[in-house]
């Protein structure tokens, strides 16, 4: 397949002096001849503006911790160092239309409650004592735990630990919401939410996987998971168990999607998340798909090849795969597994029928094995 634009069916008008004059006239009326822009605005295949990136935790951690002393929680709202793709500074996206940042909360700190159209998720990187209140429910989360803050749900969070700060990764669909001009934001009228139920009630009720609790058929009508937190221990155990029974995906190793226990679908309508395990020495095959992905290295060390570029990673590092970029992952340890947390916009791609995926094939049409 060649992608020349000099073919019947593509715009291939050659400029002339007369046409230039015509274009200038169109411009005066805030119009443009489609054939001048058609090949750009309708590319043969996705042309992400975002570039593949890796942010090293050992570089960012000191800066994130420094911000603790520099700004007060009540002034910052959220004390976050956002990870911004060099090509997407205008919309504060890390990749595609996804935002991510490292949030820090000191011992005893709490952030005020708010809600917004953007959906949020958290992956705890380090520290004990983090909590979040979502829809009035208080959840406690520790390192490796994944939690959601669905869109338009009141939320606030803090650190009730005494030892030291908590750092977690925020993932939000802010750039998507803004691209669609749908952003709203409200500060909670009482600044803090009233708490309902016992701590971790969503986990106590809905956290038993396939054991489906009765009594929620009518009362749970929300378009997101009633389970708000997914602890690391269970997630890692599930990966280890799955690894005993199967090889998983050729592209991702053993990979599990954090899912809505009522539907089996994604935890929220716009974003989904995974945890994957790469066996010692495993090097996955390359593929590509529509949709953007942001990773956090939960465990181990290795590298990923993204659009032909190698990115070496270790625990806490964040990296991203732009839409339609070839990518493969490798675990550099011959003795220990490596785990990658990731979140993505696949639910958007799927619900809008934009999902496409293909394996990397060599010139003979075979999938090279690593």
Backbone φ and ψ for 257, nearest 5 degrees, come out as -95, 130
172 binds ligand GTQ (CB under 6 A): yes
Please count the residues of the chain: 370
For 43, other C-beta atoms within 10 Å of its C-beta total 11
293 binds ligand GTQ (CB under 6 A): no
CA–CA separation, 101 and 84 (whole Å): 8
User: Contacts by 304-307 with C-beta closer than 8 Å and gap 24+?
Assistant: 304/328, 304/329, 304/330, 305/330, 306/52, 307/52
Among 109, 170, 252, 328, the residue binding ligand GTQ under the rule CB under 6 A is 170
Environment class of 142 (CB within 10 Å of its CB; exposed 0-12, middle 13-18, buried 19+): middle
Least Å from the CB of residue 101 to ligand GTQ: 4
61 binds ligand GTQ (CB under 6 A): no
Backbone φ and ψ for 152, nearest 5 degrees, come out as 65, 10
Site string for ligand GTQ, 96-135 (x = CB under 6 A): -----x-x------------x---x---------------
Least Å from the CB of residue 212 to ligand GTQ: 30
Least Å from the CB of residue 77 to ligand GTQ: 8
78 binds ligand GTQ (CB under 6 A): yes
Total site size for ligand GTQ, rule CB under 6 A: 8
Alpha helix ranges (H) inside 250-351 = 346-351
Nearest residue (CB) to ligand GTQ, 175 versus 226: 175
- Find the residue with minimal CB distance to ligand GTQ: 170
Least Å from the CB of residue 337 to ligand GTQ: 29
188 binds ligand GTQ (CB under 6 A): no
SS3 333: coil
Nearest residue (CB) to ligand GTQ, 103 versus 296: 103
Backbone φ and ψ for 210, nearest 5 degrees, come out as -75, -10
Helix (H) or strand (E) holding 219, with range, is: none
Least Å from the CB of residue 361 to ligand GTQ: 39
Residues that bind ligand GTQ (CB under 6 A): 78, 80, 101, 103, 116, 120, 170, 172
């Amino acid at each position: 397949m060649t992608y020349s634009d000099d073919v019947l069916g593509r715009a291939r008008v050659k400029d002339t002096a007369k046409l230039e004059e015509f274009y200038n006239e169109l411009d005066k009326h805030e119009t443009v001849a489609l054939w001048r822009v058609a090949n750009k605005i309708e590319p043969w295949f996705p042309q992400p503006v975002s570039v593949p990136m890796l942010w090293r935790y050992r570089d960012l951690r000191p800066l994130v911790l420094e911000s603790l002393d520099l700004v007060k929680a009540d002034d910052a709202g959220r004390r976050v160092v956002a990870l911004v793709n060099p090509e997407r500074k205008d919309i504060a996206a890390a990749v595609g239309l996804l935002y991510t940042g490292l949030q820090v909360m000191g011992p005893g700190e709490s952030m005020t409650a708010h809600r917004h159209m953007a959906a949020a998720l958290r992956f705890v990187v380090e520290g004990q004592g983090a909590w979040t209140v979502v829809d009035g429910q208080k959840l406690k989360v520790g390192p490796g735990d994944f939690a959601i803050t669905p869109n338009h749900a009141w939320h606030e969070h803090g650190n009730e630990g005494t030892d030291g700060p908590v750092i977690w990764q925020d993932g939000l669909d802010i750039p998507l919401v803004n691209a669609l001009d749908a952003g709203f934001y409200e500060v909670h009228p009482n600044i803090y939410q009233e708490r309902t139920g016992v701590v971790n009630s969503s986990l106590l009720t809905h956290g038993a996987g396939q054991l489906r609790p009765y009594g929620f058929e009518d009362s749970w009508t929300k378009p997101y998971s009633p389970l708000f937190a997914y602890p690391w221990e269970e997630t890692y155990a599930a990966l280890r168990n799955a690894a005993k029974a199967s090889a998983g995906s050729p592209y991702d190793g053993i990979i599990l999607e954090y899912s809505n226990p009522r539907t089996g679908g994604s935890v929220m309508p716009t974003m989904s998340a995974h945890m994957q395990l790469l066996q010692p020495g495993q090097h996955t095959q390359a593929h590509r798909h529509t949709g953007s992905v942001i990773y956090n290295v939960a465990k181990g060390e290795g590298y990923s090849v993204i659009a032909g570029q190698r990115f070496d990673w270790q625990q806490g590092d964040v990296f991203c795969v732009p839409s339609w970029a070839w990518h493969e992952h490798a675990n550099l340890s011959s003795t220990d597994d490596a785990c990658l947390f990731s979140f993505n916009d696949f639910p958007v791609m799927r619900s809008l029928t934009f999902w496409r995926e293909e394996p990397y094939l060599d010139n003979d049409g075979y999938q090279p094995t690593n």
